[in-house]
Amino acid sequence: MDSYRGSVKDFVNFNAKQDAELLHKAMKGIGTDEDTILMLLTSRSNNQRQEIKAAYKKAHGKDLVSALKSELGGLFETLVVALMTPPISYDASQLHKALKGAGTDDDVLIEILASRTCAQIKDIIKVYKKECGGKLEKDITGDTSGHFQKLLVILLQGSRDEGVDEDRIEKDAKELFAAGEGKVGTDVEKFINILGNRSHEHLRLVFDAYKNLSGNDIEDSIEGETTGNLENLMLAVVKCAKSVPAYFAESLNGSMRRAGTDDQTLMRIMVSRSETDMLDIRACFKKMYGASLYNTIQDDTAGDYGKALLYLCGGKD
């Protein structure tokens, strides 16, 4: 299991029926035993939580998530509902919320479409259609415009090239340089085509070649040449090509180390990366900010919500 980099693993002596009863007891009578709920759910994998959901319905004739929602409130409730949702459905629902709310939450579109694998994006599109009742691409194009929209649509195709094309590394770097710093006004189309379609391995080599050519990091050029949500999306794509865990470490830091915590972002990342790369995110966070992610979350959150996030984080580093 060494290759597994999540902080939440399958619970070894798992018994769905028993867990369903523990949760039932925790919600019965006067007052709710939040500790049992948060400790149990954060120590079971998402697949196991789905089995608990089925066992609960079989025993009690009602939906576990609805039962939890009627007992809990606030951020803790939102977090528990997120934990009970299958990962692809969770991504789809977050995108739907980002598109259907008042105004569009570009940050959610950027985070999910820049960081998920091609296979995940294809699955998200399928689940979005089934559970959110619409076409994701249509909903995105209806809510966005310009080059920002074009790059999102390219990412939505989930068809990045595979591997590295040696013959194209230098050529791509030169095209990016010519499209950006090398001229007045930026040829954004070139940027989005290369950033949206090359593999992450290939892009890392292109960025090195670009730095040799221009003396600048590609991020500096993007920051100098673009603004707004397009700039944010392009930077997210570049950062994810370099290191997805480092990208999330930076996002987590941004969600906490400012006036007021951005709990929605904090929660979304902790839930969606808990079975993917949380151990790598923790290592990046420590290296980048000289503090442990655990202590940063502890300083920034409170109550059952904060406790549950710390369980998802796993260790103190």
Longest dimension (CA), the chain: 70
Residue 174 or residue 317, greater confidence: 174
The token duo for 240 is 């994810």
Are 166-242 and 244-300 in the same CATH fold? yes
Answer whether CATH 3.50.50.60 is correct for domain 88-157: no
- Domain ranges in the chain are 88-157, 166-242, 244-300
Distance CA(105)–CA(248), nearest Å, equals 18
CA distances from 277 to 99, 101, 235, 298 (A): 27, 29, 20, 20
CATH number attached to the domain at 166-242: 1.10.220.10
pLDDT in tens, 2-30: 689 999 999 999 999 999 999 999 999 77
Q: For residue 260, what are its two tokens?
A: 């007021």
In whole angstroms, how far apart are CA 114 and each of 87, 202, 312?
A: 16, 16, 23
pLDDT in tens, 134-172: 999 999 999 999 999 999 999 999 999 999 999 999 999
CATH code, 244-300: 1.10.220.10
Name the pTM for this structure. 0.95
| pLDDT tens readout for residues 23-78 | 999 999 778 899 999 999 999 999 999 999 999 999 999 999 999 999 999 999 99
Contact between 278 and 5 (Cβ < 8 Å): yes
The answer to whether 172 touches 198, Cβ cutoff 8 Å, is: yes
Q: What angle (nearest 5°) sits at the alpha carbon of residue 81, between those of residues 263 and 269? A: 40
